[in-house]
């Protein structure tokens, strides 16, 4: 097990929702699982006027996100955890003198012997990243003379390539790249990491992982929910920025990348950047028109319940054309993937919540069993990222009886069948990695920029293109009805069900 040094985690934007919903529960689990170091302090900092006790009440003792933990672990244990949590009011503005914050950090460091090792976690709007970094630097809080200093930033990382570059340059004024951890919570998911293991720890898949055997690759990321209370943010972002530029391109890079030399952060990230740079950037309107589909959900009744259309959601412009559905077809220009199409879609208000990667293998070269209908029963490898996490292989078997009728059978593995079934949540895993100085599952500056480089022309086309269409789709459906045209031939999207082994077309609407 890797060593976790004594340290302090300073969370900016600590009175916001992410801290209570994700960060504190993750820290609690790390504490309970004895992953936190002996000397460990969490200091929340933000603009709300709270005392340590108020903050503890908010994020621990009265937090709805820790209700089960309070019931399961008892008050004493919760208090033990709460004793590690503190709060500092920054006043009305993040752009202020951090002398007060510095002296609070120094006092806590001395009292709890956190060895001058500090992580600054910026859970604030991105437009504050630069100013917070500068103010920390002005107080000498970024200097690594006595202990290490790390910076974690949340997404979105930039709004396009230009702003992402600007932000990278700005952060590099105050922190070295090796101190910066850009969080992408999808990389914290066990099943996303398992993509690497499936590919590079099995000799049966890697020889087939190329244009000679793979017909196409399909990735679906669907959510049942709409934009919820985030209409204001989402309307300026859209599905492409919100999910595709970061989470899905991360998954894509793991599917596309070449084998790294080893498992250290730089080796893996070098290969991921190379993979992202090999995606063919679409620039002409004709390609962008035929290779991208965007849609927006419309009001509908789901399970007897009226569901609002996107334009009726709070914070959304009633004439908005922002996409809640994005489907992209693209190619990868390298030796391994030449001519293999990739189809990737992400959307809100789908029939179910599911994320999966489907590797569609080519048909056998010569069809012996002519009447078997084998054509549309090609082998598939399905890597289920969520829910019902697992891996499924679809292959042909003979139907008992005369002749050679072929049917498709499933060979499946479920994470839930492992003895050790408690998977760390993404935030637990990522926080622990940053606490241990392991950046493998964090995005590097050049990775983020390469992702924007691919996405920028699509965004630009969707904004200013002459022939752009936004299709409507009823909430609770699998997107616009013409979405299958993107794939073409006798293939269609595999509309997955809630269970890994559900066949297309079947979906649980509970």
List residues with catalytic annotation.
247
d(CA 330, CA 341): 6
| Interacting residue with ligand BG6 among 69, 88, 223, 235 (CB under 6 A) | 223
With CB atoms as reference, the residue minimizing the distance to ligand BG6 is 242
DSSP letters for 436-464: TT--TTSB-HHHHHHHHHHHHHHHHHHHH
Contact 473, 222 (CB under 8 A): no
Closest distance of CB 231 from ligand BG6, Å: 11
Contact 408, 398 (CB under 8 A): no
Phi then psi for residue 396, to 5 deg, are -85, 140
Residue closer to ligand BG6 (CB basis): 63 or 346: 346
DSSP letters for 291-336: HEEEEEEE-EEETTEEE--GGGSTTS-TT----SEEEEEE-B-STT
First to last CA, the chain: 41
List of residues 6+ apart from 464 with CB closer than 8 A: none
Q: What is the DSSP letter of 84?
A: T
Closest distance of CB 46 from ligand BG6, Å: 20
Q: Give kind and range of the element (H or E) at residue 221.
A: strand 214-222
Residue closer to ligand BG6 (CB basis): 58 or 155: 155
Helix (H, G, I), strand (E, B) or coil at 9: strand
d(CA 200, CA 204): 10
Count of residues touching ligand BG6 (by CB under 6 A): 3
Closest distance of CB 49 from ligand BG6, Å: 29
Closest distance of CB 243 from ligand BG6, Å: 6
d(CA 227, CA 433): 30
- Among 442, 351, 360, 453, smallest CA distance to 408 is for 360
Q: Is the dihedral of CA 253, 258, 262, 267 positive or negative?
A: negative
Residues within window 334-393 making contact with ligand BG6, judged by CB under 6 A: none
Residues within window 236-255 making contact with ligand BG6, judged by CB under 6 A: 242
Closest distance of CB 168 from ligand BG6, Å: 20
Residue closer to ligand BG6 (CB basis): 89 or 242: 242
Residues within window 181-220 making contact with ligand BG6, judged by CB under 6 A: 185
Residue closer to ligand BG6 (CB basis): 142 or 245: 245
d(CA 276, CA 330): 12
Closest distance of CB 398 from ligand BG6, Å: 39
Q: Which residues bind ligand BG6 (CB under 6 A)?
A: 185, 223, 242
């Amino acid at each position: 097990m890797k060593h976790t040094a004594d340290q302090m985690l300073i969370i900016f934007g600590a009175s916001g929702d992410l801290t209570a919903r994700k960060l504190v529960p993750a820290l609690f689990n790390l504490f309970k699982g004895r992953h936190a170091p002996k000397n460990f302090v969490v200091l929340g900092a933000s603009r709300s006027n709270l005392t340590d006790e108020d903050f503890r009440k908010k994020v621990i003792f009265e937090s709805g996100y820790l209700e089960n933990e309070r019931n399961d672990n008892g008050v004493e244990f919760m208090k033990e955890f709460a004793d590690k949590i503190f709060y500092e009011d920054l006043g009305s503005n993040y752009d202020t003198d951090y002398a007060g914050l510095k002296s609070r950090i120094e006092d806590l460091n001395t009292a709890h012997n956190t060895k001058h090792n500090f992580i600054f976690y910026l859970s604030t709007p991105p437009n504050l990243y630069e100013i917070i970094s500068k103010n920390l630097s002005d107080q000498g809080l970024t200097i690594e003379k006595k202990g290490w200093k790390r910076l974690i930033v949340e997404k979105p990382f930039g709004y396009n390539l230009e702003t992402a570059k600007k932000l990278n340059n700005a952060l590099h004024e105050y922190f070295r790249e090796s101190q910066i951890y850009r969080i992408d919570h999808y990389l914290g998911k066990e099943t996303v990491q398992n993509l690497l293991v499936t590919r590079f720890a099995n000799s049966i898949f890697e020889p087939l992982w190329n244009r000679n055997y793979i017909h196409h690759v399909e990735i679906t990321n669907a959510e049942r929910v709409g934009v919820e209370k985030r209409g204001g943010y989402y309307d300026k972002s859209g599905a492409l920025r919100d999910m595709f530029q970061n989470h899905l391109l991360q998954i894509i890079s793991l599917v596309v990348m070449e084998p790294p030399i080893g498992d250290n952060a730089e080796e893996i990230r070098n290969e991921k950047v190379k993979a992202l740079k090999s995606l063919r950037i679409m620039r002409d309107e004709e390609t962008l028109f035929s290779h991208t589909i965007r849609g927006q959900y419309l009001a509908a009744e789901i399970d007897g319940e009226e569901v609002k259309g996107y334009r009726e959601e709070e914070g959304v412009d009633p004439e908005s054309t922002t996409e809640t559905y994005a489907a992209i077809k693209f190619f990868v220009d390298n030796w391994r993937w030449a001519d293999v199409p990739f189809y990737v879609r992400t959307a809100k208000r789908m029939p179910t919540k599911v994320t999966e990667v489907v590797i569609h293998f080519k048909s056998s070269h010569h069809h012996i069993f002519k009447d078997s209908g084998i054509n549309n029963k090609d082998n598939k490898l399905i890597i289920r990222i969520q829910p019902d996490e697992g891996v499924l292989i679809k292959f042909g078997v003979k139907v008992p009886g005369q002749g050679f009728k072929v049917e498709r059978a499933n060979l499946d593995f479920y994470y839930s069948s492992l003895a050790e079934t408690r998977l760390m949540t993404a935030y637990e895993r990522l926080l622990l990695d940053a606490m241990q100085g392991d950046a493998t599952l964090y995005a590097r500056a050049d990775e983020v920029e390469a992702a924007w480089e691919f996405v920028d022309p699509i965004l630009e086309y969707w904004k200013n293109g002459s022939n752009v269409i936004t299709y409507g789709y009823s909430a609770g459906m699998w997107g616009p009805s013409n979405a299958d045209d993107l794939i073409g031939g006798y293939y269609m999207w595999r509309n997955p069900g809630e269970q890994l082994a559900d066949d297309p077309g079947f979906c649980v609407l509970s």
